[in-house]
């Protein structure tokens, strides 16, 4: 009952704001393929204040993403044994405040600010995300219709979002928001807030590495699109190293190449 009511509020008040945001930015994203291992929908949220607070030269910004599918009542993003553990897949759209040229590291800082904000929502008392020590390499051109971008492969170091989140109002708001936005993005879904609540583990907010693809596109003056998809690197029991990026790589690329950039 509460979920349905919340969805009505989101549809009535928040979705029109996102539509206006896309017009202010100048473009929107449509993904025509999503891998079976992820939730079959893309949810969107505004990123303007998050990026400005992080000191980035953003006039308006929006995030479009999905995470691991629901298995046994919980997204596999929160399952340490799943390939989708701590994985994101989606893209950013943004309009810059000035004509200043951006470096690859500038684009990385979009994700750094995004991840740290997410960790705060999930109760991490000391959010931590850096790209220092990781090299970003140009691995070729990526074409989406009339748009040609550059694909980079690199990495980051961060915390997991699985920890002691406490039952705060902020946390509950995040859970209801995700369920509503995914359900509205795909009418065949019937997700619940509990699907986005990690279960307690012995690895609270653990430090881990990530490997990522970034696809950077210039759409028109000061309008940019950055596609992203990542896996993680962690050390499991007995010193064994798990690298999910190699497992997810083909799915990430296929999804990124399915993206349609629509100017609005």
3-state SS record for 203-219: CCCCEEEEEEEEEEEEE
Q: Pull the structure tokens for residue 7.
A: 């969805």
Domain of residue 193: give its range.
2-263
* DSSP-based three-state secondary structure for 21: helix
Q: Which helix (H) or strand (E) holds 226?
A: strand 223-235
Which pLDDT belongs to residue 241?
78
Going by C-alpha positions, the residue among 118, 134, 117 that lies closest to residue 86 is: 118
pLDDT (0 to 100) of residue 255: 98
Please give the full DSSP string across 227-255, using - where no structure is assigned. EEEEEEEEE-GGG-EEE-HHHHHHHHHHH
Cα gap 115→83, rounded to integer Å: 19
Q: Is the whole model's pTM more than 0.95, yes or no?
A: yes
Q: What is the total count of domains within the chain?
A: 1
* pLDDT tens, the chain, 264 aa long: 788 899 999 999 999 999 999 999 999 999 999 999 999 999 999 999 999 999 999 999 999 999 999 999 999 999 999 999 999 999 999 999 999 999 999 999 999 999 999 999 999 999 999 999 999 999 999 999 999 999 999 999 999 999 987 778 899 999 999 999 999 999 999 999 999 999 988 888 999 999 999 999 999 999 999 999 999 998 776 666 789 999 999 999 999 999 999 999
**Which residue is it, tokens 């790589």?**
249
Q: How many CB atoms lie within 10 A of CB 101?
A: 7
Whose CA is closest to 73, among 201, 202, 192, 184?
Answer: 192
Beta strands in 55-173 (DSSP E): 58-66, 70-71, 74-75, 89-96, 129-130, 137-144, 147-159
**What's the pLDDT score for residue 37?**
98
Angle between helices 2-9 and 169-185 (to 10 degrees): 70
Q: How far is CA 247 from CA 36, 85, 159, in A?
A: 13, 12, 21
Residue 244: both structure tokens together: 């999910």
Question: Cα–Cα distance between 63 and 70 in angstroms, integer?
Answer: 21
User: How far apart are alpha carbons 191 and 180 in whole angstroms?
Assistant: 8
């Amino acid at each position: 009952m509460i979920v349905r009511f919340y969805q009505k509020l989101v549809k009535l008040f928040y979705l029109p704001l996102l539509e206006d945001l896309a017009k202010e930015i100048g473009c929107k994203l449509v993904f025509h393929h999503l891998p079976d291992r992820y939730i079959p929908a893309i949810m969107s949220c505004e990123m303007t204040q998050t990026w400005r607070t992080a000191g980035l030269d953003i006039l308006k910004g929006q995030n479009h993403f999905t995470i691991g599918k629901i298995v046994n009542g919980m997204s596999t993003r929160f399952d340490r044994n799943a390939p989708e553990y701590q994985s994101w897949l989606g893209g950013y759209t943004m309009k810059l405040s000035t004509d200043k040229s951006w470096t690859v590291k500038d684009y990385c800082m979009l994700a750094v600010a995004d991840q740290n904000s997410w960790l705060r929502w999930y109760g991490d008392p000391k959010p931590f995300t850096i790209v220092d020590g990781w090299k970003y390499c140009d691995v070729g051109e990526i074409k989406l219709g009339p748009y040609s971008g550059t694909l980079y492969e690199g990495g980051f170091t961060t915390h997991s979002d699985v920890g002691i989140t406490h039952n705060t109002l902020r946390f509950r708001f995040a859970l209801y928001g995700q369920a509503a936005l995914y359900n509205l993005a795909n009418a065949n879904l019937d997700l619940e807030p509990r699907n986005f609540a990690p279960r307690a583990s012995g690895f609270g907010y653990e430090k881990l590495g990530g490997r990522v693809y970034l696809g950077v596109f210039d759409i028109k003056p000061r309008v940019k699109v950055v596609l992203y998809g990542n896996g993680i690197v962690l050390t499991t029991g007995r010193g064994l190293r798990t690298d999910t990026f190699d497992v997810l790589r083909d799915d990430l690329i296929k999804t990124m190449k399915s993206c349609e950039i629509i100017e609005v």
